[in-house]
Chains A and B, each alone.
Chain A
Amino acid sequence: DVKVTQSSRYLVKRTGEKVFLECVQDMDHENMFWYRQDPGLGLRLIYFSYDVKMKEKGDIPEGYSVSREKKERFSLILESASTNQTSMYLCASRKSSYNEQFFGPGTRLTVL
């Protein structure tokens, strides 16, 4: 079974803090993704990585950066958290050449 894990289920941070969200997958998948999910807006792609040290902007990259130093790990960084980044953050991975993405359990981030 594919397993995607995220470092925290719930996180509360203050405005201006630097925030790291970690995602790890154990199935040797090449591609990894970060989404945010907000009521009424659905799933929106922030960044994705198609291989180690490779990254591509998604639909809403502003205010975020990512790091992929190892194949199994994909980090999302909020350089200076703002209240409008309060959201549910979902990580996903997939084997390249297959379309199925497998999601982690999500991190609910609240920025005060």
Chain B
Amino acid sequence: GQQLNQSPQSMFIQEGEDVSMNCTSSSIFNTWLWYKQDPGEGPVLLIALYKAGELTSNGRLTAQFGITRKDSFLNISASIPSDVGIYFCAGGAFGNEKLTFGTGTRLTIIP
């Protein structure tokens, strides 16, 4: 199946830095979702976006639904050690039960 292009693939940052990642698609989606997965665990939903141009925050996390409906962005401000993990985007279309997932961005915090 199709996978969304997510970049960067990996990031090595210092605690306190801000983080930006994005996800792009050749298809239009009605929904963009952002998940975080800790090692050995299932993905946890962070943010759901439903409208083009929408900007939504969840604590230090902010995500945006791109105006073209073909991309989405996730920012993490002032990173902390528990932010370490893999972040996945997912696109959904109304009337379609399936999600299309991104390839993931692995975030590592350098001590």
Contact = CB atoms under 8 A, between A and B. Distances in A.
A99 B30 contact: yes
A53 to B, nearest CB: 16
B33 to A, nearest CB: 6
Interface string A65-88: 000000000000000000000000
B49 to A, nearest CB: 10
Nearest to A2: B45
A31 B97 contact: yes
A106 B93 CA distance: 25
Interface string B77-111: 00000000000101011100111011110000000
Given A42-B101, A42-B104, A43-B101, A99 B43 contact: no
A99 B41 contact: no
Say whether chain A's binding surface is mostly helix, strand, loop, or mixed.
Answer: strand
B30 to A, nearest CB: 7
Given A100-B48, A101-B90, A103-B45, 15 more contacts: A42-B102, A42-B104, A45-B1, A45-B98, A48-B98, A99-B31, A99-B33, A99-B48, A99-B92, A99-B93, A100-B33, A101-B45, A103-B42, A105-B42, A108-B40
Interface residues of B, number: 25
Interface in A81-112: 90, 94, 96-97, 99-106, 108
Interface string A23-67: 000000001010000000011110010100000101100000000
A103 B38 CA distance: 12
Nearest to A4: B42
B99 A99 contact: yes
Contacts of A48: 97-98
Nearest to A35: B101
A99 B42 CA distance: 17
Nearest to B91: A99
A94 B99 CA distance: 11
